[in-house]
Amino acid sequence: MGILLLFVLWVLTFVLGRIRQLGKLRFSRFIPSMVFFRVALTAALLSQLLRYFDLEGDLLNWIAVVAKTGLYVALVELVLDVIWALVIRLNQRGVAPPRILKDLALVVAGFLVVAAELRAQGLLTTIGSAAVLGGLAFIVGPGSATQIGNISSALAVQVERQFCVGDWVEIAGELGRVDNISWNSTYLYDDVEDRYIVIPNSLIDQAKTINYSRPSSSEYRLEVEVGMPLDMPPGKAANLLLGVMSGHAEIIPHGKNTIVIRSVDKDSMNYVMKFFIADFASRNKVRTEIFSSVWYALSRSGYTFPHSIVDLRTSRSKVRIQSEKRSKLEGTSIEYLRGIELFESLSDDQIREIVNNDPIVSFGPGEIVVRKGDVGGSMFVILEGRCSVLIDDPSGSQDVIKVAELRDGAIFGEISALTNAPRTASVKAVSHVMVQEISQRQIESIFLVNQAAMEQFANVMANREAALKTFSPEQKQSFEYGLIARMTQTFSRFMSS
């Protein structure tokens, strides 16, 4: 009966070990490795079998010692597992201490248990000591110099707190997140290539180590080097780059965010953008978006990225190509404006005047076209691409929510442009976006001299608001009259300025 029970328990250790390995159940992390329980049960089974066949002697005594010490060490490991789980729960970052510390504690506790048991059995004699030392020599002997170097380096990392599990580090040119520090190696997770990099601990003492998670694990400094046109004034270039940084959602507003000039070469003046982000794993995404935003900002400012090419086109051909491109865009803009209900009251010449006098501008994915709270400005018509309309979360959180998506031919910003009121929502580019800007000055020059057009414009706006807010006929008429009054007041202020 005893042998059957021990066998059932022995099989159970394999089942529990498999559950721990898969980690699919909530209690999986509390299951110990089962190795020492398995050793103890194997020794106990062997002892029972020897007794069943009436075998006695020193061999049986040694097996009994193995069974007992194996059980004690297994219980020590179980206690350490519980302590480690509590440390993870109490840790604000939810990161476990390095595995090497747990292994070291288990080894020390294991040797103490073995020594105590051997002493209690009277087996800690010259022969017993020789057996223990022989076992140690077998473990440490092969490549002992390398092993000792790895272990000493691992201990030095823990004592000096150079880095810990969860930190983002660069060791010997390899960048990744520290996932484990063992006796021999440090394991880095490379999130870019989705792989693990195993670095021998002895190499840490010899190579340069950069810890991006120190001194703060909530702010990570990044640098992006950008080449700007030589003919762009440095003050203007710095302001453009600062504007790109301040407009990026993942860059933390920080007094240490800055722009410095690193070098000047034959093609460009090279600036370094230094800023902080909260999630180091998003660094490549942020860098990509920064380069994209700088390109679009340069394009809107009338500049381009410097490039080393030989342009064989003549000045006349360049002007012709730019003129053809501009004419094509203007044709698209006129076509879209002609099809928008708000502009039905305008003649073709008036629409053409809007397009000829106001710019067509581009925005990159993630860039803000208009920002909530900004007063007045221009209205815009999307010629190409998609934009999201964003408002503050009604629940009161700091997040914004998307309430609409605008596509080719959509118009936005008209109420603010017509009445000089603060914008009620932000509009962000989802893809590459080209918009026709229509300035307040341009609107004023057309509507102030065309009362009929202003009234029809207000009527269209009132119908749109009525459809959205279920106005009564009286409310719709009141909104229309109020809009005309605000438009007249806004345009009159422009005329007097």
Report the mean per-residue pLDDT for the chain: 78
**Calpha distance 426→168 (Å, rounded):** 34
Is cis: bond before 142, omega within 30 of 0? Answer: no
pLDDT at 276: 94
In terms of average pLDDT, the best of 7-11, 226-230, 357-361 is 226-230
Q: Are strands 268-277 and 220-229 parallel, antiparallel or unpaired?
A: antiparallel
**Calpha distance 324→51 (Å, rounded):** 100
The residue type found at 398 is Q
Give residue 307's pLDDT band: very low, low, confident or very high (50, 70, 90).
confident
Fold of 315-496: Jelly Rolls (2.60.120)
| pTM, entire model | 0.59
pLDDT at 284: 93
Show Cβ contacts of residue 216 under 8 Å, excluding neighbours closer than 6 positions: none
pLDDT at 260: 94
> To the nearest 10°, the Cα dihedral for 420, 426, 432, 437?
0
Give residue 165's pLDDT band: very low, low, confident or very high (50, 70, 90).
confident
| Per-residue pLDDT at 154 exceeds 80 | no
Total residues found in the chain within this entry: 497
Q: Work out the average pLDDT over 355-381.
A: 87
| Backbone angles phi and psi of 479, in degrees to 5 | -65, -40
Q: Which CATH class is domain 162-211?
A: mainly beta
Cite the residue boundaries of each domain of the chain with CATH code 2.60.120.10.
315-496
Strand order through the sheet with 185-190: 195-200, 185-190, 174-181, 168-171, 209-211
| Per-residue pLDDT at 358 exceeds 70 | yes
Cite the residue boundaries of each domain of the chain with CATH code 3.30.70.100.
220-300
pLDDT at 262: 93
Residue located via tokens 């329980």: 37
Show Cβ contacts of residue 341 under 8 Å, excluding neighbours closer than 6 positions: 460
| Per-residue pLDDT at 388 exceeds 90 | yes
pLDDT at 411: 85
**Calpha distance 155→186 (Å, rounded):** 12
Counting residues of the chain whose pLDDT is more than 70, the rounded percentage is: 75
Contact criterion met (CB below 8 Å) for 405 and 469: no
Residue located via tokens 């093609």: 267
pLDDT at 263: 93
Contact criterion met (CB below 8 Å) for 222 and 252: no
pLDDT at 108: 79
Helix (H, G, I), strand (E, B) or coil at 251: strand
| Backbone angles phi and psi of 226, in degrees to 5 | -130, 130
pLDDT at 149: 62
Minimal CA–CA distance to 381: which of 349, 414, 350? Answer: 414
Q: 202 vs 299, which has greater pLDDT?
A: 299
Q: 493 vs 485, which has greater pLDDT?
A: 485
247-276 tens-digit pLDDT: 898 999 888 899 999 999 888 999 999 999
**Calpha distance 391→358 (Å, rounded):** 28
pLDDT at 140: 43
* Residue 105 CB neighbours (<10 A): 16
Contact criterion met (CB below 8 Å) for 458 and 411: no
Cite the residue boundaries of each domain of the chain with CATH code 2.30.30.60.
162-211
Q: Residue 190: beta bridge partners?
A: 195
Counting residues of the chain whose pLDDT is more than 90, the rounded percentage is: 19
CATH number of 220-300: 3.30.70.100
